[in-house]
Amino acid sequence: MNDSPVVQIKFGTDGLRAIIAREFTFANVERVAQAYADYLIQQAGPGTQPFVVIGFDRRFLSERFAARTAEVMIANGFKIALFTDAQPTPLISWAVKDLGATGGVMITASHNPPNFNGFKIKEPWGGSAPPETTREVEKLVDATPPKRADVDDDGHQQLEPAIDRYRRQIASYVDLDKLKNANGKVIIDPMHGSAGRWVESFLSGGTLAVETIRDFRDPLFGGVNPEPIDQNLGPLKKRVVETSALAGLATDGDADRVGAVDERGQTMTMHDVVPLLLLHLARARKMTGSVVVTVSQSVLTKRIAAAMGLKVYETPIGFKYIAELMLKEDILLGAEESGGIGVKGHIPERDGVLNSLLFLEAIVTAGKPPSEMLADLHREFGEFHFGRRDLHMAVSRGQALVAQLSQNPPVSFAGFNVTKVETTDGAKLIFDDESWLLFRQSGTEPALRIYSEATSVEKMNKLLDAAEELVK
């Protein structure tokens, strides 16, 4: 496909994402940027000058796509603040809110494969644009031919104070003295993404030994997708074992998601990390508020919330749904299965840098290895194990399968009784012991995701195996 504007612009779960040089081209970025500019002009009304913060990750050509976006904004009479180097998405979100901007653009495809890039829209309150915003932007694509102008002043000097305030915010949120003065070692893995040495920069200078791996820019991300899940964390797992580290902490390509590896070099899923983090916030830090989970989050998170007397909301997958509640309600923690966590007292946005430090605080406070923390959690709240498989599949086929399971759910599956089916997002089969299996077509790529959480590893794998067989 060439640069022709026949390509339909469609925003997914969090922003527009497409393959570089196929659908994600300079011409199409101009079209989206112009549509976003038109949208902001409509919202701002006459006589006002919109102000947009623009950032980018370490993907191929990201800085060039960001510069092109800046040219379109300038041509439309906007004031801009353009980052001069790759930075974490949560920092761009922070800067939008901190500087009182009208909106923001982050050029990133987050955890998607290396050949993808994307265009995320940020709202004035410091988080991702909700579906109602992106729908309006989509409607305005090609309403106005894209304008471009030279960027005489990229406004980057305005960003330094915002970056400094972001650093101070994180430093004040976490007990850094406790972390720096802990004994042992921690391994940090930004997976060649834009977190770089951000996490390490908060931890240096005490007795805690800190080592960052895969910290340099590699647009191919070392040959894996920059998503901090088990199959992509080989180097982190290996290094944790080699150095007898307390834990390994990973962030995704644009640093809004977090991942973790325990002291044995075993990957901890978000169904381990989020319940432990909630327990730390509610029990050790004595924080209060409601809890938001997406439909693929853990049964354990709900059980802990119930034990602590915290209200639980459940939403479709996509952090924008969590952010929406964080803006309206007193939310202590909002979490999705894919590593996105939002916490009370910060921006309503996923922040892999803050959450890495917060999870390390939970480990240091507990005074025991993560595997023991998890064993204690299971003893108190029950044992559940999570697995996920991504199957390459045409979007239409995946959607048809999900629709079929939603409308005609089976009475039993893989030999287990199905007690109910939830259709909040995808088709989620619930079994009589609270184990579950979810079929969901991705909103950003041709992948059918199947997720399961069950009372044993064997049962979880049996459910996933049967799901794969069904799909074949």
Domains of the chain: which residue ranges?
16-165, 184-381, 385-471
What residues in the chain have per-residue pLDDT under 50?
A: 1-3, 5
Q: Residue 291: enclosing H or E segment and its boundaries? A: strand 290-294
Q: Phi and psi dihedrals of 209, rounded to 5?
A: -85, 135
Bridge partners of 80, per DSSP, are 52
- pLDDT score of 6: 67
- Which residues are CB-contacts of 437 (< 8 A; sequence separation ≥ 6)? 413, 428, 429, 431, 450, 451, 452, 463, 464, 467
CA distance 15 to 33: 12
CA distance 42 to 459: 53
**Is 385-471 in the same CATH topology as 184-381?**
no
- pLDDT score of 444: 61
Which fold, 16-165?
Alpha-D-Glucose-1,6-Bisphosphate; Chain A, domain 3 (3.40.120)
Q: Which amino acid is at 394?
A: A
59 vs 110, 113, 225, 442, CA distance in Å? Answer: 9, 10, 12, 21
Q: Which amino acid is at 399?
A: Q
How far the first Cα of the chain sits from its last, in Å, is 30
- pLDDT score of 188: 98
pLDDT in tens, 291-333: 999 999 999 999 999 999 999 999 998 888 899 999 999 999 9
Q: Which amino acid is at 337?
A: E
Name the CATH architecture for the domain at 385-471. 2-Layer Sandwich (3.30)
- Residue 355 CB coordination number (10 Å): 31
- pLDDT score of 208: 98
For strand 447-454 and strand 385-392, is the pairing parallel, antiparallel, or unpaired?
A: antiparallel
- Which residues are CB-contacts of 251 (< 8 A; sequence separation ≥ 6)? 88, 189, 190, 191, 193, 195, 199, 228, 257, 258, 259, 352, 353, 356
Domain 184-381 listed as CATH 2.60.40.10: no
- pLDDT score of 1: 38
Cβ 199 vs Cβ 208: under 8 Å: no
How much of the chain is helix, strand and coil, in % rounded to 5? 40, 20, 40
